[in-house]
């Protein structure tokens, strides 16, 4: 089929519909270029990106420092496998350890792989340190969680769309309501090796747990000799206003899972970080990945961390986030049920009578604002942290218009 001038986007939509599995339901916009907080479609229209690839792009599209690191390293050495050492791996691991405050990291590629790494670490740690009987380890997880798409992980999802007809699933996970400490306490027993939690549930719609929940989990884990594992793939790296969101609750997890903005959107890079007592369960041959810890990922990851630090994006996230939240809370409409916000991360939950959030996202698209609905009734707003305040005001004004009665 020949491209036509009149419907440039249509050609791409058709190709995709024809040749690609239909495992997503994107908004009808075909992007071709991005810079900072903005993206451009194939017809030249400019949009404010209020999704940031699910917070992988906290540093903005095509950050020049990260792009330069990528190009330089790609021309020098991209992949060695871990069968050999490379000169980017050690320095990057040190930088990441120092940044997040753990003794060691294990690098993988996608977020789901890092979650799998944490699960393996917790199980082995439980067998070796806690003396749990073989194959009896249990991990407590929370309803509404999103930890990725592998069969083990979707097995403990509570979202039917994610799990239906993908079983049989791995045993060893116990689900309790998010934010419910009493239920968590009841779910824990001598076989519990870990509690796996998102400090804020991103995919569920920026759901913030009650005050005291994370400290309560810390106490329960200490009492039961279980590891507290925080999935900071979306909440970390500045999105919620801190390097690690859970530290704002005055606690320290035994292990954290990182991904997404760890590479500023330039390369798949994820990590599990923990102290030696946990990480020492991994011995040669027990875990790995062909691309994990490759020099290209390390070069990109190093630049991505430097950008977050040098541009003080955590502070920017907190300051801009507070202003946006206040602006959105001031919108007069009966269609908003609740505005949840932490850092530059907003879940705007609509009332049931407002209809599906997707309809509003489609209208926002017409106004040059790219947002993605999550779980039916919530519009998530998570622009790159480098966004300008005037762009946020434009987004808020557009939201006000599309939500007007
Ligand atoms: C996105 C996400 C994942 C999965 O990351 P992938 O790179 O898509 O595998 C896991 N946990 C959380 C909290 C996420 O937001």
Complete DSSP assignment for 284-329: TTSS--SSTT-HHHHHHHHHHHHHHHHTTHHHHHHHHHHHHHHHHH
Q: Peptide bond preceding 168: is omega within 30 degrees of 0, i.e. cis?
A: yes
- pLDDT, residue 405, reads 66
231 is catalytic: yes
Report the nearest-CA residue for atom 15 of ligand 1: 234
Q: Which residues contact 351 (CB under 8 A, 6 or more apart)?
A: 334, 335, 336, 337, 377
| Angle, vertex CA 311, rays to CA 308 and CA 314, nearest 5 | 55
275 is catalytic: no
- For residue 355, give the DSSP letter: -
- pLDDT, residue 5, reads 52
Q: Report d(CA 47, CA 186) in Å as an integer.
A: 48
Q: Which two tokens stand for residue 60?
A: 């903005």
Cα-to-centroid distance, 380 and ligand 1 (Å): 16
Pick the catalytic residue from 142, 146, 173, 213.
146
**Which atom belonging to ligand 1 lies closest to the Cα atom of 153?**
10
Query: Residue 34 to residues 57, 62, 110, 182: CA-CA distances in angstroms?
Result: 11, 7, 22, 46
Phi/psi zone of residue 320: left (φ > 0), alpha (ψ -120 to 50 degrees), beta?
alpha
Nearest to 88 by CA among 284, 264, 296: 296
**Which atom belonging to ligand 1 lies closest to the Cα atom of 115?**
10
Walking along the chain (405 residues) 10 residues at a time, the average pLDDT comes out as 65 97 96 98 97 98 98 98 97 98 98 98 98 98 98 98 97 98 98 98 97 98 98 98 98 98 98 98 97 98 98 98 97 95 98 95 97 92 98 97 88
Mutational pocket test of ligand 1: of 207, 260, 261, the residue with most ligand atoms within 8 Å of the beta carbon:
260
Cα-to-centroid distance, 255 and ligand 1 (Å): 16
Give bridge partners of residue 61 from the DSSP assignment: 36
Nearest to 52 by CA among 70, 36, 28: 36
* pTM for the full predicted model: 0.97
Q: Are 105 and 93 in contact (CB under 8 A)?
A: yes
Top-tier CATH class for 9-59+312-404: alpha beta
Q: Report d(CA 169, CA 167) in Å as an integer.
A: 5
Cα-to-centroid distance, 148 and ligand 1 (Å): 5
Q: Which two tokens stand for residue 405?
A: 């009665």
Complete DSSP assignment for 62-109: T-HHHHHHHHHHHHH-----TTS--TTHHHHHHHHHHHHT-SEEEEES
| Cβ < 6 A, ligand 1 pocket | 54, 110-112, 115, 146-148, 198, 202-203, 231, 233-234, 259-260
Q: Which two tokens stand for residue 112?
A: 């789901």
Pick the catalytic residue from 231, 254, 373, 391.
231
Report the nearest-CA residue for atom 11 of ligand 1: 147
**Which atom belonging to ligand 1 lies closest to the Cα atom of 232?**
13
Cα-to-centroid distance, 352 and ligand 1 (Å): 27
Residue 71: exposure state from Cβ atoms within 10 A (0-12, 13-18, ≥19)? exposed
Q: Do domains 9-59+312-404 and 64-310 have the same CATH topology?
A: no
Pick the catalytic residue from 49, 260, 272, 391.
260
146 is catalytic: yes
Specify the residue for token string 């507290």: 228
Nearest to 223 by CA among 247, 251, 196, 190: 190
Mutational pocket test of ligand 1: of 111, 200, 257, 262, the residue with most ligand atoms within 8 Å of the beta carbon:
111
Q: Which residues contact 158 (CB under 8 A, 6 or more apart)?
A: 143, 144, 145, 175
Query: Residue 247 to residues 59, 78, 270, 375: CA-CA distances in angstroms?
Result: 21, 34, 19, 27
Q: Report d(CA 220, CA 180) in Å as an integer.
A: 12
Question: What angle do the packed helices 295-310 and 313-329 form, to 10 degrees?
Answer: 60
- pLDDT, residue 72, reads 98
**Which atom belonging to ligand 1 lies closest to the Cα atom of 235?**
13
Give bridge partners of residue 379 from the DSSP assignment: 348, 373
Cα-to-centroid distance, 44 and ligand 1 (Å): 31
Query: Residue 302 to residues 156, 166, 242: CA-CA distances in angstroms?
Result: 33, 37, 18
Cα-to-centroid distance, 5 and ligand 1 (Å): 38
**Domain residues of the chain, as ranges?**
9-59+312-404, 64-310
Helix (H) or strand (E) holding 15: helix 8-19
Say whether domain 64-310 belongs to CATH 3.50.50.60: no
Cα-to-centroid distance, 146 and ligand 1 (Å): 7
Q: How many other C-beta atoms can be found within 10 angstroms of the C-beta atom of residue 24? A: 7
Q: Report d(CA 74, CA 297) in Å as an integer.
A: 10
- pLDDT, residue 3, reads 45
Q: Are 311 and 386 in contact (CB under 8 A)?
A: yes
């Amino acid at each position: 089929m020949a491209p036509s001038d009149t419907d440039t986007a249509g050609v791409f939509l058709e190709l995709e519909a024809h040749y690609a599995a239909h495992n997503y339901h994107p908004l009808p916009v075909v992007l071709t270029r991005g810079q900072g907080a903005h993206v451009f479609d194939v017809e030249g229209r400019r949009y404010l990106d209020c999704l940031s690839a699910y917070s992988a792009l906290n540093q903005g599209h095509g950050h020049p420092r990260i792009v330069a690191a990528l190009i330089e390293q790609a021309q020098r050495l991209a992949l060695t496998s871990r069968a050999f050492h490379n000169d980017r791996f050690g320095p990057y691991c040190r930088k990441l350890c120092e940044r997040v405050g753990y003794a060691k990291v294990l690098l993988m590629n996608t977020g789901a792989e890092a979650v799998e790494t944490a699960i393996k670490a917790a199980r082995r740690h439980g067998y070796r340190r806690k003396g749990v009987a073989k194959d009896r380890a249990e991990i407590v997880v929370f309803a509404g969680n999103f930890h990725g798409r592998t069969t083990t992980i979707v097995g403990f999802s509570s979202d039917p769309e994610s799990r239906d007809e993908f079983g049989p699933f791995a045993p060893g996970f116990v689900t309790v309501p998010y934010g419910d400490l009493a239920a968590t306490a009841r779910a824990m027993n001598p076989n519990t090796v870990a509690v796996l939690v998102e400090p804020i549930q991103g995919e569920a719609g920026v759901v913030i747990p009650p005050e005291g929940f994370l400290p309560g989990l810390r106490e329960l884990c200490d009492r039961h000799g279980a590891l507290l594992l925080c999935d900071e793939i979306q909440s970390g790296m500045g999105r919620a206003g801190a390097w690690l969101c859970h530290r704002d609750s005055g606690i320290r997890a035994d292990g954290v899972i990182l991904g997404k903005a760890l590479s500023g959107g330039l390369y798949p890079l994820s990590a599990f970080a923990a102290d030696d007592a946990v990480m020492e369960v991994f011995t040669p041959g027990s875990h790995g990945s062909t691309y994990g810890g490759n020099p290209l990922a390390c070069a990109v990851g190093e630049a991505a961390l430097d950008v977050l630090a040098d541009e003080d994006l955590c502070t920017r996230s907190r300051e801009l986030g507070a202003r946006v939240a206040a602006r959105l809370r001031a919108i007069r409409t009966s269609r908003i049920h609740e505005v949840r916000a932490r850092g530059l991360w907003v879940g705007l939950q609509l009332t049931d009578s407002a209809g599906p959030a997707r309809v509003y996202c489609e209208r926002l698209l017409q106004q040059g604002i790219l947002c993605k609905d999550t779980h039916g009734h919530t519009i998530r707003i998570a622009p790159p942290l480098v966004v300008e305040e005037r762009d946020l005001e434009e987004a808020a004004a557009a939201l006000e218009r599309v939500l007007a009665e």
